[in-house]
Structure 1
Amino acid sequence: MDQTTFISLIQKYQSGEASSQEKALLEEYLLRMEAKEPTPASLPAAGNRVWERLQQQLHPPVQKVHILRRATSWWVAAGIALLLAAGTAYWLLTPAKQLPEPVTRSAPQDAAPAGNKALLTLADGTVINLDEPQNNPLPLQGNVQVSRSDSGMLTYKVAAAGSNAPLSYNTLTTPRGGQYKIILADGSAVWLNAASSLRYPAAFTSSVRQVEVTGEAYFEVAKKPEQPFIVTVQGVNMQVLGTSFNVNAYEKQQGVITTLVEGRLKVTAPTAAVILKPGQQSVAGTGNIKVQTVDPEQAIAWKHGLFVFNNASLQEVMEQLSRWYDVDIIYNTTSNVTFEGEIQRNLSLSQVLKHLEQKDVKFKLNEKTLTVTQ
């Protein structure tokens, strides 16, 4: 998020015009600034502390890498007031020793972060590149009107009464270095991470709403108890009535990871089934399903524009960077270093690598190949 956007969010927050999503994003940034401070006894004291912390963000000393936790909502109001008075903003970058250099100053060998890029494959096989200019309207899919926005969202809307016509499937595919959001014909919203795909009916005309996923996707399912929603990925089914959850099924990881944010979710593998509660995560492998309690915000941090590393191995971190920046990874090290913290996903690759190099690993980027050394 750039400075202009951030200040605009602050102003909308104060005027009461911010959406619930914008409020959540702004509060998350401001709450983290004082994550480890106790709640102050008075407003003036708090204002002084927030000001001191803001100055540290603008002129930061060397500090220990850590993961920030949420603080009391008290700091939001004080932080907003001070940021508006100062006419500036800060960027959340952890781990970090200094504020990042602007993208325009990046080294010649660099890679930009992912953007809104996707291919739409229609039922007749027509492929539409959604990141190209919108010269023509998208064709009708039966009785469904399809539209796209400049902000990277595809919307399906039923234009007339349904019929008994057979299901007509479309597929939305994001490349490495791409992401996209889609509103399905039933009102359900799906966010696709990089190198992922979603196959779905243009309209849900059968007794169930069923879609297929590869890679990673976050779902906010419209409630229709009479028409269950089923997500299928690698032989694992997730059945819901109305809920929010994340599915991670990239090829190089072990099993299908499903994290429930709210609602109830039934996960069914070939030989086992479990019902998840909010805050639980299942890992469906060959023949079994393991369930554990997690912080769901970490699982969906990608949707909010963050990399979050929680004791992540070098290989796990590099897999995320490979997908997001569309680079291939070569390892010239056997380092077992792990990473803790979070970094914004809107930075250039060189900026991200600068932070990771604090862990005694080095990187060299040559066109689309990133080599990791010690």
Structure 2
Amino acid sequence: MAKEDFPIINTELLDPVAPLLQKLLIGETLSGEEIALLEAWKNRSEENKVLFERLEEPAAVQEMLKTWHGIEKNRELNKQRAMNRISELVSTPSPAVHQVHFLRRRPFRYAAAVLLLLSAGTYFWAVNNKGTDKPQAAAAVIIEPGREGAVLTLADGSKVVLDSLGNGVVANQSGVQVVLQNGQLAYDGASKETVFNTITTPKGRQFRLQLPDGSKVWLNAASAIKYPTAFTGRERLVELEGEAYFEVAKNASMPFKVAARDATVEVLGTSFNVNAYRNESVIRTTLLDGVVRLSAYQQSQTLKPGQQAVAKPASEQLEVVNNADLDKVMAWKNGLFNFEDASLEEVMRQLERWYDIEVTYAKGIPPIRFGGEINRQNTLQDVLQILEKSNVHFRFEESRKLVVVP
């Protein structure tokens, strides 16, 4: 384990105790030997004592770590591919690019979940006690992470804010009831005519939707999807701006199509993710299960699970990436930021969408690339404290305007 991963805490001792911390937080009983090892770690330094006390305080920490543990179990199928990508990054560093790794090694993920994702305040404490005079990202108001919520635009143009509504019928349209149940919107009934609805997630919101055919959609922040209240005819067509993950109900006689900017994705029944933000240079369609066909610029590509189609509007090209990084693609749906091999601009665009902020650069954009994952339930200030390990810093000029300072 490299010491640069966590320069403040003794990483040599963390290898054996990280799983013990995880076991303790999910309620498993430690053996006498494990308890002794944990006590030795706790008494090793003041930082360890502070961290251990933080872990004993909020019940929410336990729930967050249980969620992380569940994500970890689902990640085994992609373990080898992820390790290969990490090896490539480590073995071929660019002298002009500063690599910053948060969760670089698989055995270190439990420690990272505790030390970074749940305890950014501990890192902040350690930095400030070193007497640094570097600018700190501080704002008068703590900026909380995004949450569930959206705006529903009905066929008549009226809008319904779904953030604070309870379970029940939201609207009636042409014989179809729009029902909100446990944070997911669904449609019940047969429509007498074809009318369209739109779900829009502003910055700082994400939402779940069940389409009239039973297909499920997870909509990321700053996105929108337009769809009919009933699918009729020969196809099921929806229009997407932004990013969404789809689990499509099978219907061989009525293909499901997603129109996203310059590209159209056609499926029969499958699971896939489409990233089509207008401030991103490409449109990415990634297949997790089944078969999809993507068409753009008079070209067509059929994808197999694990492949990603990349449509490039600037050059009107369509390419296929084999062995796509599914962890990175699905991180947003799993409650994470995945910054593996991401540029500073890409990282800041993700933060803009999730925390509803505006990002500017004081002296150009530093050529920094990142690696690793951070929990999306951290406050913005906690995330920035972690990112400042890269020697790039931040300041707030207004309550929601963030300036990047090299």
Please give the range of the TM-score, normalised by the shorter of the 2 chains: 0.7 to 0.9
Which of 371, 382, 387 is 1:340 aligned to? 371
* 1:92 and 2:113 are equivalent in the alignment: yes
The Cα shift of 1:295 comes to: 2.0
Q: Does the C-alpha gap of structure 1 residues 268 and 69 become closer, same or farther in structure 2, counting only changes over 3 Å?
A: farther
Aligned to 2:383: 352
The 1-side partners of 2:253 and 2:214 are apart by: 15
TM-score by length of 2: 0.69
1:278-323, Cα deviation, whole Å (9 max, x unpaired): 1111111233201112122210110000000111111110000001
| Contact kept in structure 1, 2:168 and 2:180, CA below 8 Å | no
Which of 246, 259, 262 is 1:219 aligned to? 246
Aligned to 2:162: 130
Aligned to 2:392: 361
Which of 325, 340, 344 is 2:355 aligned to? 325
**Which secondary structure state, in structure 2, belongs to the residue aligned with residue 140 of structure 1?**
strand
The Cα shift of 1:235 comes to: 2.8
1:348-372, Cα deviation, whole Å (9 max, x unpaired): 0000000000000111123010010
* 1:292 and 2:313 are equivalent in the alignment: no
The 1-side partners of 2:241 and 2:73 are apart by: 34
1:197-236, Cα deviation, whole Å (9 max, x unpaired): 0000111122211100001111010111111100001131
Q: Does the C-alpha gap of structure 1 residues 358 and 267 become closer, same or farther in structure 2, counting only changes over 3 Å?
A: same
* 1:101 and 2:121 are equivalent in the alignment: yes
Aligned to 1:210: 237
Which of 265, 277, 298 is 1:271 aligned to? 298
| Contact kept in structure 2, 1:118 and 1:131, CA below 8 Å | yes
Q: Does the C-alpha gap of structure 1 residues 133 and 363 become closer, same or farther in structure 2, counting only changes over 3 Å?
A: same
| Contact kept in structure 2, 1:332 and 1:373, CA below 8 Å | yes
Alignment of structure 1 residues 47-86 onto 2, 5 Å: 65-68=101-104
**Which secondary structure state, in structure 1, belongs to the residue aligned with residue 101 of structure 2?**
coil
| Contact kept in structure 2, 1:182 and 1:191, CA below 8 Å | yes
The 2-side partners of 1:351 and 1:321 are apart by: 12
**Which secondary structure state, in structure 2, belongs to the residue aligned with residue 319 of structure 1?**
helix
| Contact kept in structure 1, 2:247 and 2:271, CA below 8 Å | yes
Aligned to 1:372: 404
The Cα shift of 1:267 comes to: 0.1
The 2-side partners of 1:331 and 1:26 are apart by: 36
**Which secondary structure state, in structure 2, belongs to the residue aligned with residue 101 of structure 1?**
helix
The Cα shift of 1:139 comes to: 1.7
**Which secondary structure state, in structure 2, belongs to the residue aligned with residue 92 of structure 1?**
helix
Which of 177, 180, 186 is 1:155 aligned to? 186
TM-score by length of 1: 0.75
Alignment of structure 1 residues 170-185 onto 2, 5 Å: 170-185=197-212
1:329-358, Cα deviation, whole Å (9 max, x unpaired): 110133111111100000100000000000
Which of 326, 345, 354 is 1:315 aligned to? 345
**Which secondary structure state, in structure 2, belongs to the residue aligned with residue 230 of structure 1?**
strand
The 2-side partners of 1:175 and 1:98 are apart by: 26
| Contact kept in structure 2, 1:174 and 1:196, CA below 8 Å | yes
* 1:252 and 2:279 are equivalent in the alignment: yes
Aligned to 1:234: 261
How high is the sequence identity, in percent, across the aligned residues?
39
| Contact kept in structure 1, 2:167 and 2:180, CA below 8 Å | no
1:243-279, Cα deviation, whole Å (9 max, x unpaired): 1111101112112111111110000013100001111
**Which secondary structure state, in structure 1, belongs to the residue aligned with residue 332 of structure 2?**
helix
The number of residues matched between the two structures is 309
| Contact kept in structure 1, 2:148 and 2:206, CA below 8 Å | yes
The 2-side partners of 1:299 and 1:331 are apart by: 26
The 1-side partners of 2:184 and 2:386 are apart by: 31
**Which secondary structure state, in structure 2, belongs to the residue aligned with residue 315 of structure 1?**
helix
1:153-185, Cα deviation, whole Å (9 max, x unpaired): 11122x3xx46x442100000001111010111
Question: Structure 2: which 5+ residue stretches go unaligned?
Answer: 1-54, 80-99, 126-137
Which of 99, 116, 123 is 2:148 aligned to? 116
Aligned to 2:130: none
| Contact kept in structure 1, 2:102 and 2:112, CA below 8 Å | no
**Which secondary structure state, in structure 1, belongs to the residue aligned with residue 200 of structure 2?**
strand
Output the amino acid matched with 1:357.
E
**Which secondary structure state, in structure 2, belongs to the residue aligned with residue 231 of structure 1?**
strand
* 1:169 and 2:196 are equivalent in the alignment: yes
Aligned to 2:131: none
Output the amino acid matched with 2:70.
E
The 2-side partners of 1:189 and 1:316 are apart by: 27
Output the amino acid matched with 1:27.
G
**Which secondary structure state, in structure 1, belongs to the residue aligned with residue 113 of structure 2?**
coil
The Cα shift of 1:101 comes to: 2.6
The 1-side partners of 2:144 and 2:64 are apart by: 24
